[in-house]
Structure 1
Amino acid sequence: MVPAGQRLRQLAAAAVDAVSPDQLVRRALQRHDDQLTVDGRSYTLSRNVYLVGAGKAVLGMAAAVEQLLHPHLVRGLLSVPVGARPAHLLPGIEVCEGAADNQPDAAAARTAGRIAELAAELSAGDLLLVLLSGGGSALLPAPRPPLTLPLKACLSRQLAERGASIQELNAARRGLSRLKGGGLARLARPARTLALILSDVVGDPLDLIASGPTCLLLGGETTVIVRGAGRGGRNQQLALAFALELERLVRERRLPPTARAALLCFGTDGRDGPTDAAGAVVDQAVAADARAAGLRPEQYLADNDSYAFFARFRSGAHHILVGQTGTNVMDVMALVVEQPPPRDRAAG
C-alpha cells in the first residue's frame, strides 16, 4: 500500500493541475470570428483589446487570452510576483515583477501606477480585459494620497498579525486604494471593462478577491494570530498544531495504535507566508520523533516558527516544496485516516 503521506503529496500535485489557470480561462471565454462571448454577454473585437492583470496566476491566464484574442490584443501589462515562472507572451504584453515575500513594495506600486495610466488613456470602443487572482492586492498597491505605501503596508501587517480575516483585510485595502473597489473600472471609462477573476476566497465574493482509507478534503484559509517572532505560514502552523494534537490522541489512546493518520496542508500558489515552502505533511509520529531528535515542537508552535521546525526536522522531509505554481485558489487540507485490515489467523 502506498504510504498515506506519499498519497497526500500526489493529491497536492493533482489539485494544482486541476486548477490550471489557462484551462479555466479557456472555459470562460468563447470567440466566434470577431465576437467574444463571456457568460452570455458579447463584445465586438476590432483590434481594441487592452489587457492588465495582477496576481499569482495571471501569467497562465494571460497566455490563454493571448492565444484566443490575437490579433485583437493591442497592449498588455501584468503585475506578477518576484520569481514568477515565465510564459510565452506576445511582445505587446509586458510583465513586471514585484511584491517580494507577498508584501506590496515600490516595484509593485510603479506597475500599479502604469496600469492606472493605461486604463485612463482608453476611449469608447475599447475593451479593457482585467485578470485578477490571489496575491493581486499586494501586486496592485495604489494608496490614496496622502497615504504612503509604507504606512499602508504597516496597517495591513498589523491587521494580519492581530488575526484579521482575508475579508477584513481586503475591505480595509479597498478603502485605502485608488484602484481597488472599482477604482480601475472607473478610470477606464468610457471603455468597457471585463474582469476574469480566479478566486482564492471562500464563497467567491468578487469584491474581496485580490484584495478504504477515509480521506477528508477541505479548502479555505485558516487565520493565525501572530504572537511569536518566528517564521512560517498558516499551512505550516496548522500542520505543526495537528502533529501535536495527533500526539495527544495517541497518548490518551483515543487513536487506535494500529491506525495511521496523516494531514496535508498547502497553499496552491506554492508559497505559504513569507517562505519558500507551500506547506507541510505530518502524521502521528512527527511530534514524538521530533522530541527524540532534540526539538520541542510546542515551542516552535508558540513562537510561530513552523518553517524552522519543518526545515530542521528530518532535514525538511515533511516540507512541501514545489516552487511557484502559477495558480492560486485558496489552501488545500487533506486528512487521511486508515486502519490496516486484520491479519488472517492460521488455522489451529
Structure 2
Amino acid sequence: MEPRALLQQMFEAAVASARPQECIPKHLPAPPAGKTVVIGAGKASAAMARAFEEAWQGEIAAGLVVTRYGYEVPCRRIEIVSAAHPVPDLAGCAAAARMLELVRGLKPEDLVICLISGGGSALLPLPLPGVTLAQKQELSRQLLNCGASISEINCVRRHLSAIKGGRLAAACHPARVITLAISDVPGDSPADIASGPTVADATTCADALAIVRRYGISLPGHLQEILLSGAGESVKPGDPRLQEEDYRLVATPQRALEAAAQVAAGHGVAAQILSDRIEGEARDVGKVMAGVALQVARRSQPFAPPCVLLSGGETTVTVRGSGRGGRNVEFLLSVGIALNGADGIHALAADTDGVDGREEIAGAYLSPDSLQRGWQLGINPKLSLDDNDGHGFFQALGDSLVTGPTFTNVNDFRAVLII
C-alpha cells in the first residue's frame, strides 16, 4: 500500500476505536431504582449521548450535554447545547449553570450518568463568584500560548471554577454518579480529563498559583487573591459527597494506538508503540522522533524496517511567531527539517478530534520530498517553524489532513513510517 494511504488508514482506525457507538454500550450500569439524569461535556459528548440513548434500557428523566460548535448530534431525550472551544463563551457558562441546577435535589436511589470527553474544560467554564467570563477568556488565551502542559493548564482552571475539580459530582450528592469518560490526556488522569468535574482533586490553590507564576501569567488582583487565600480550593479526596462516584474510562489513547498497530500489521509492517503519553514542546519531540527514525532507517536499531513508530499524548506549542500554531503540524515540520529529505521515511500527525490547535484541520502528512516542494514554492521551512506556521506550510503543499468533526477525542496521533 502507498505510504500515505497506509498512514491515513491507521489514523482512521485509531479514531474509529474511540467512537462512542463502539465503546459506550460496553460500560453501562443497570438502571437504578430511582430516576436517571444524564449530563456531560466535551467534543465527543453529544455523540456519547446518542450512543447512551440507543443502548440504555431504562428511562431518562432529564439530560443536558454541552459540546463544541459543529459537534452536535441530535438526541431524542437529552438536550444538546453548543458552546465555544478552546476559548470559552457565554453559552458554555449558561449551560454549566443549568447543569448544576439540574442535578440538585436528587435522592440516594437516583443515578447521574456523566459523559465526559476532551474539551470539557472550555465547555464548562462557569467561574467562581467574583470571576468574570472575560477574565476566564483572557486566562485561557494565556494558558494556551505559554507552553504549559495540559495538566498544568487544568490545575489552574480547577481552582477558578464553580463546576470543575469535583464540584459537579458534589452537587449531585446523595445520588450515585457514574462517569463515562473518553480520555484525551497523557496518563488518563481523571482529574485532568475536562478538569475533573466529577472526581476529587489532590492539587491545591498553591499549586495553581505556582503555575501562574512559572509561566508569567498575568492575573487580575482578585483572581490572585482567590488562589492566595485558598478560596478556590477544589473538592479533595475523602470528601463524603463523592463516596458514590464511579469513574469508567471507555476509550483511551493507548487503545487507539493498538487499533492503528493492527492495521499496520495487516500490511506486513511492524508497529512499535513508543508511548501514549509523550509531552513537551512539539518541535523538540519532533527532533527526537526524527533521530529515532534515522537510527531505524540506517542501522536497523532499535527496530528493523519496515516499521512504524506510533505515539500519542499531548505536546505543546509556545507561540512566539505570527503563525496559527497547531502542535501536530509543528511536530511534523520539525521532523521534516531534522530528516532533511531522508529517503523512505513518511509521517502523519493529527489530533483525533479533527482540530489541531484552533484550526479546523486535524493535522498533516509529511513525505521525503515535503521540504523540497516547500522550497520550490518559495517557502522556507525553518522560517515557517520559527513563525509557528506549520499549518501554512502544509496547506501550501496540499498535505493538510481535514477530517471534519470526528465526534471523539483521544488526543494526538503520531505515526512515523520507515520503509
TM-score (normalised: structure 2): 0.71
Distance 2:55 2:405 in 1: 25
Deviates more, 1:155-164 or 1:172-181: 155-164
Residue in structure 2 matched with residue 137 of structure 1 by the alignment:
121
Residue in structure 2 matched with residue 95 of structure 1 by the alignment:
80
What is the deviation of 1:141?
0.6
Is 1:334–2:415 an aligned residue pair?
yes
Distance 1:210 1:180 in 2: 8
More helix by share: 2
What is the deviation of 1:153?
2.3
Over 3 Å off, 4+ runs: none
Distance 2:104 2:132 in 1: 22
What is the deviation of 1:64?
2.3
Cα pair 1:47 1:73 within 8 Å, conserved: no
Give CA deviations for 1:271-319 in whole Å, capped at 9, x if unaligned. Answer: 1111110001102211121111111221121111222222222xxx211
Cα pair 1:54 1:78 within 8 Å, conserved: yes
Distance 2:307 2:119 in 1: 33
Distance 1:289 1:203 in 2: 38
Residue in structure 2 matched with residue 127 of structure 1 by the alignment:
111
Distance 2:134 2:382 in 1: 34
Residue correspondence of structure 1 range 186-205 to structure 2 within 5 A: 186-205=170-189
Distance 2:68 2:105 in 1: 26
Q: Name the amino acid aligned to 1:331.
A: D
Is 1:7–2:6 an aligned residue pair?
yes
Local SS of the residue matching 1:176? coil
Is 1:276–2:345 an aligned residue pair?
no
Is 1:318–2:399 an aligned residue pair?
yes
Q: Name the amino acid aligned to 2:382.
A: E
Which of 237, 257, 261 is the aligned partner of 2:330?
Answer: 237
Local SS of the residue matching 1:23? helix
What is the deviation of 1:69?
2.5
Give CA deviations for 1:216-248 in whole Å, capped at 9, x if unaligned. Answer: 11111111111112113111111111111121x
What is the deviation of 1:107?
1.1
Distance 2:62 2:34 in 1: 10
Deviates more, 1:220-229 or 1:61-70: 61-70
Cα pair 2:34 2:111 within 8 Å, conserved: no
Distance 1:121 1:305 in 2: 50
Distance 2:376 2:41 in 1: 46
Q: Name the amino acid aligned to 1:227.
A: R
Where does the alignment leave 5 or more consecutive residues of structure 1 unmatched? 31-35, 37-43, 339-348
Residue correspondence of structure 1 range 28-47 to structure 2 within 5 A: 28-30=27-29, 36=30, 45-46=32-33
Which of 292, 302, 316 is the aligned partner of 2:386?
Answer: 302
Cα pair 1:47 1:72 within 8 Å, conserved: no
Is 1:118–2:102 an aligned residue pair?
yes
What is the deviation of 1:85?
4.4
Residue in structure 1 matched with residue 291 of structure 2 by the alignment:
none
Residue in structure 1 matched with residue 154 of structure 2 by the alignment:
170
Q: Taking every aligned residue pair, what percent have the same amino acid on both sides?
A: 40
Local SS of the residue matching 1:239? helix
Residue in structure 2 matched with residue 104 of structure 1 by the alignment:
88
Local SS of the residue matching 1:73? coil
Distance 1:202 1:22 in 2: 23
Residue in structure 2 matched with residue 78 of structure 1 by the alignment:
65
Local SS of the residue matching 1:218? strand
Cα pair 1:230 1:303 within 8 Å, conserved: yes
What is the deviation of 1:160?
2.5
TM-score (normalised: structure 1): 0.85
Distance 2:141 2:120 in 1: 16
Residue in structure 2 matched with residue 246 of structure 1 by the alignment:
339
Residue in structure 1 matched with residue 351 of structure 2 by the alignment:
267
Which of 361, 375, 394 is the aligned partner of 1:291?
Answer: 375
Cα pair 2:41 2:119 within 8 Å, conserved: yes
Give CA deviations for 1:27-60 in whole Å, capped at 9, x if unaligned. Answer: 2125xxxxx1xxxxxxx52460000010011122
Which of 113, 132, 153 is the aligned partner of 2:137?
Answer: 153
Is 1:61–2:48 an aligned residue pair?
yes
Distance 2:399 2:9 in 1: 14
Q: Name the amino acid aligned to 2:417.
A: V
Please tell me the root mean square deviation across aligned C-alpha atoms, in Å: 1.5
More strand by share: 1
Q: Name the amino acid aligned to 1:7.
A: L
Distance 1:82 1:201 in 2: 21
Cα pair 2:323 2:387 within 8 Å, conserved: yes
Q: Name the amino acid aligned to 1:20.
A: R
Give CA deviations for 1:183-217 in whole Å, capped at 9, x if unaligned. Answer: 00111122221111111111111111112521111
Cα pair 1:202 1:220 within 8 Å, conserved: yes
Cα pair 2:329 2:390 within 8 Å, conserved: yes
Distance 1:22 1:308 in 2: 35
Q: Name the amino acid aligned to 1:157.
A: R
Distance 1:49 1:302 in 2: 52
